[in-house]
A and B are shown apart, each in its own frame.
Chain A
Amino acid sequence: MDWLTTVDHKKIGILYLIAGGLFFLIGGIEAILIRIQLMQPKLDFVSAQTFNELITMHGTTMIFLAVMPIIFALMNAIIPLQIGARDVAFPFLNSLGFWTFFFGGLLLNLSWIVGGAPDAGWTSYMPLASNTYSNTHGVDFYSLGLQIAGIGTLLGGINFLVTIINMRAPGMTFMRMPMFTWAVFITSALILFAFPAITVGLVLLTFDRLFGANFFEIANGGNAVLWEHIFWIFGHPEVYILILPAFGIISEVVSTFSRKRLFGYSSMVFATILIGFLGFMVWAHHMFTAGLGPVANALFSIATMLIAVPTGIKIFNWLFTLWGGQLTFNTSSLFAIGFIPTFVMGGVTGVMLASAPADFQYHDSYFVVAHFHYVIVGGLVFGLFSGLFYWWPKMFGRVLNEGLGKITFWTFFIGFHMTFFVQHFLGLMGMPRRVFTYLPNQGFDTMNLISSIGAFLMGVGTIVFLINIAVTAAKPKNAPNDPWVDGRTLEWTIPSPAPEYNFKQTPLVRGLDAYWKEKMAGNKEVPAAEPVGSIHMPSPSIIPFMMSVGLFIAGFGFMFAKDEFANGFVGMLFNNYIVAILGLVITFGGMFLRSVFDDHGWHIEPEELEDKGVKA
């Protein structure tokens, strides 16, 4: 119950981690099934239809329901601590954001059980995604599930923008913000601008499918290429929403474990902003073959290539952070170090793809599959692993097991390169992507086999990670404040795990890497900006959970409104939109309750602080 009502950012972070982890497993199982099917030519492990559902759900799940929430988990767990805040700006919204994400994801995944999974690819191009060509409820689950989950992301983005702008500790100017905070700040801004686009797109798609609108139905004057634009105006920034936090994590980890400040901090900040900005200008590079004409293709080619410049700045700054440092090798730093070459390889193939005339060959081939997995898995997932090992003690009070961690790193790292490196060549040799099978004797067989074996290895790495979590959870909570000894930022000044109110006294920041700076000055602690006083805390609330359940029910209600049911009563409920309306009533009821009842929260008094501080 405590977990259903919590509005504490640290607990919400853990919820995000659990839910994201769960979806990550589902997405991973889907990936393994795909790779089993493609292990050899002309296998019959799954049917063509199931295969299309698997790739669609794998992509959608991984992007929206797995890596995104794990990013949110780290954002929630760490950002307020890094900026010396007691919570996020809107704790209630934070909880609402989590629950809408969770129920959106649940709705989407229930499609496996009721009504057929979506099968039009994670991009859901029209008209393949229309009722005419995809006549199960699959794409409805996609559009409604993502719509509900998207609310959560948007709320989270806004929340973190406000939190970072308003709630930094005294003295923490923008140019003293830790790099992870910067990255999350830009990411949140991207979410703010990109998610409305997909929201609109999904609404239009839903209208087409459920109410017979014709936004994309060609026969009735709709436009199929329009969907591509809407999707990618969101979809391209989305990949930067994913990768920027990983950049932030790497910056923290690399500088902590080499005991040096980040090389070229201000150029890092500038590069991050620039990447965020350019991320919006390049969506049409996903559409070079759609026939936009040479002028558009040339301009989008050039704009895309430009992103390589700030990205290159980041890479070299990381290398020169290591230069002259004292590097400790542990699982977290191994993942960060593994990130650098892997991401560089993903980045350079990105530049290759940016050249439109050559992209005519790469597009929609396995080359692209290799490229984006190098960026998303080799970049983002490596970054997330690195961040999880790094901040795990701060989140749970326990340091993850190093031995198991290293096994995870090596199996995952080797498995990853085995899986995806050969796919570059598969693509160049003419293998299209999203194929459920291929004919023998085309030169594809060996590489596909290698690729599948690599995928199994990555699976092993993930399982070892889960074992690690279990083993660690069984040990006592004894991590010190600063388990890495060389922590540089504010989160390491408070106990692990952080107490409910984070900071007994708001810290005073006197420079970049506030904690490190004090340590170097011989101080044990960061000075406080205020006297010990009573701390205001927000009250827990079940309303966010209820509101999300309402949306979840409404989603089902709308989806099945036109179906026929064996049971007359159930049919009556659905066909008259009673279920849909009931769901909306619950949601709006929640909003209403939230607005009428004033809740002033509660306080932790200084006397209580004393014993709590000791205990935690």
Chain B
Amino acid sequence: MMNRWHAVKRLLPILAGLALLLSACGRADLSTLQPQGPIAEKQYDLMKLSIGMMIVVVVIVFLILAYVLIRFRRRPGQTEIPKQVEGSHKLEIIWTVIPIILLVILVVPTVKYVFEFAQDYSKDKNAIQVKVTSHQYWWEFDYPDYGIKTGQELVIPTTKKISLQLNTVDVLHSFWVPSLFGKIDTNPEGNTNKMYFEAPKAGVYRGKCAELCGQSHALMDFKVKAVDEAKFDAWVQEMKAPAVLPEDPQLAAAFEKKCLSCHAVGDKGGTLGPNLTGIGNKQAVAGVLLNDETPVEENLKNWIADPEKVKPGSKMPKVTLSTEELDGISKYLANYKLQYDNGK
């Protein structure tokens, strides 16, 4: 144990420098190097420890190599035969034992965190239970305790543990929010994976699918939105409120007939596609058409007009709509906003 701490202490300055260097890397809502929650932080600690150790190893090898290359190059006229050294048990033992010591330093926290991250909160009354289901190419979030389902945007309170149970309905995907926690695969039903995390800071974090899952694997983005408890409760209430349909009855009929066969709003509709309740104030349409870059309405229009163009291989068909219907539905959805987030 003494030994270990000694080594760790020596590594500290390197680690500090490293942390500075690394933390300049990437967006705070996306990079593993800018952890925003306890799990990602621990993973980051592990990364720093291992990178630090590995840099030491690499530097030692480089120095020896550089020395050898300069010192022992063959000079013109050098003809005598160099001494044919057989080896050296002492040296060989040294470079067997030192790596073992380094590995032990790394193994201890590794094993500790393996078990810590594998804890099961799926029975915990205080944790928010979410069933994550992956589809080609979107994510469904089901809150069984509240009876609500959303798509593409996981809304959570900052104060509680979030306990996830993950599955896929088609091929394998992998659920990854780099700044909050590492990834976990979504296997088919019967092979459910569990995971938990916390997001103590309010904010929106970018998530990705990390397992090749077909054409639009690259576009299977989602967001995790952490809000304070009051907002979360407000969100739950609004999600449970009855559906608000377009005012224009003709438009409402078209929407019901052509969209709600797959999608749901409020208490109406199907479950084949993502739930559209409150889509007006989500961060993105279809995960990748970002609403802070282009107005929601335009994004919606682009998406509905030709889903295949936005996400190749998407399971959402190109629905035949008249121009008025397309405009009307996009406008209606863009204005379908939930109030919980108004103060933002």
* Residues of chain A having any CB pair with chain B under 8 Å: 47-49, 52, 120-121, 125, 127-128, 133, 218, 223-225, 258-261, 263-267, 289-291, 293-294, 297-298, 301-302, 305-306, 308-309, 312-313, 315-317, 319-320, 322-329, 337, 340-341, 344-345, 348-349, 351-352, 355-361, 363-365, 425, 428-430, 432-439, 442-443, 520
Contact = CB atoms under 8 A, between A and B. Distances in A.
B212 A261 contact: no
B87 A264 contact: yes
A500 B196 CA distance: 67
Given A265-B87, A305-B106, A429-B31, A289 B51 contact: no
B315 to A, nearest CB: 11
A356 B61 contact: no
Contacts of B103: 305-306, 308-309, 351
A120 B215 CA distance: 10
B46 A429 contact: no
Contacts of B50: 351-352, 355, 358
A357 B99 CA distance: 20
Nearest to A363: B183
B211 interface: yes
13 contacts: A49-B312, A52-B217, A128-B171, A259-B74, A290-B193, A308-B99, A316-B91, A326-B73, A345-B58, A358-B47, A363-B210, A425-B25, A428-B22
Q: Which of A261, A289, A298, A363 has the most CB of B within 10 A?
A: A289
Interface of B: 22, 25-27, 30-33, 40, 42-43, 46-47, 50-51, 54, 57-58, 61-62, 64-65, 68-69, 72-75, 78, 81-88, 91-92, 95-96, 99-100, 103, 106-107, 110-111, 113-118, 136, 170-172, 174, 176, 178-179, 181-185, 187-191, 193-194, 206, 208-219, 221, 288, 290, 312-313
Contacts of A266: 87
Contacts of B114: 294, 297-298, 301, 356-357
A357 B46 contact: yes
A226 to B, nearest CB: 10
The 8 A-B pairs of least Cβ separation, nearest first, read A360-B182, A429-B26, A435-B218, A348-B54, A264-B87, A357-B113, A326-B74, A294-B118
Given A48-B313, A49-B313, A326-B82, 19 more contacts: A224-B187, A224-B188, A258-B72, A260-B84, A264-B87, A289-B174, A294-B118, A298-B111, A309-B103, A313-B92, A316-B92, A327-B72, A348-B54, A358-B46, A364-B174, A425-B26, A430-B32, A430-B208, A443-B31
Contact of A313 (B22, B26, B96): B96
Nearest to B42: A357
Given A291-B193, A357-B46, A260 B82 contact: yes
Contact of B25 (A260, A308, A434, A443): A443
Contacts of A443: 25-27, 30-31
A593 to B, nearest CB: 45
Nearest to B22: A428
Contact of A301 (B107, B170, B184): B107
A593 B81 CA distance: 56
The listed residue with most B CB atoms (<10 A of its CB), out of A359, A425, A439, A520, is: A439
A324 B82 contact: yes
B191 A438 contact: no
A340 B40 CA distance: 33
A315 B61 contact: yes
A362 B202 CA distance: 25
Nearest to A360: B182
A259 B26 contact: no
A289 B182 contact: yes
A505 to B, nearest CB: 27
Given A325-B72, A357-B46, A442 B30 contact: yes
Given A48-B312, A49-B313, A291-B193, A128 B54 contact: no
A469 to B, nearest CB: 27
A361 B47 CA distance: 9
B187 A263 contact: no
Given A298-B111, A430-B32, A324 B210 contact: no
A341 B191 contact: no
Contact of A429 (B32, B75, B187, B313): B32
A438 B216 CA distance: 11
B216 A48 contact: yes
Contacts of B58: 341, 344-345, 348
B217 A435 contact: yes
Contacts of B194: 291
A432 B209 contact: yes
Contacts of B26: 425, 428-430, 442-443
A316 B95 CA distance: 7
Given A261-B84, A294-B118, A436-B218, A323 B43 contact: no
A267 B96 CA distance: 10
Given A48-B312, A326-B78, A356-B110, A261 B85 contact: yes
Contacts of B174: 289, 363-364
A122 B251 CA distance: 48
Nearest to A435: B218
B68 A301 contact: no
A319 B34 CA distance: 37
B172 A128 contact: yes
B86 A261 contact: yes
A430 B54 contact: no
Nearest to B169: A218
Contacts of B25: 425, 428-429, 443
B32 A434 contact: no
Contacts of B31: 428-430, 443
A29 B216 CA distance: 23
Contact of B217 (A127, A312, A434, A439): A434
Nearest to B26: A429
A428 B92 contact: no
B138 to A, nearest CB: 16
Q: Chain B CB within 10 Å — which of A265, A325, A340, A358 has the most?
A: A358
B91 A259 contact: no
Residue among A47, A363, A428 with most chain B CB within 10 A: A428
Contacts of A358: 43, 46-47, 50, 110, 182
A288 B84 CA distance: 46
A28 to B, nearest CB: 22
B110 to A, nearest CB: 4
B210 A313 contact: no
A309 B96 contact: yes
Nearest to B192: A291
Nearest to A319: B64
A369 to B, nearest CB: 12
Contacts of B65: 319, 322, 337, 340-341
A265 B115 CA distance: 41
Contact of B87 (A267, A289, A355): A267
Contacts of A218: 188-190
Contacts of B96: 309, 312-313
Contact of A341 (B32, B42, B62, B313): B62
Nearest to B191: A225
A375 B192 CA distance: 34
B182 A348 contact: no
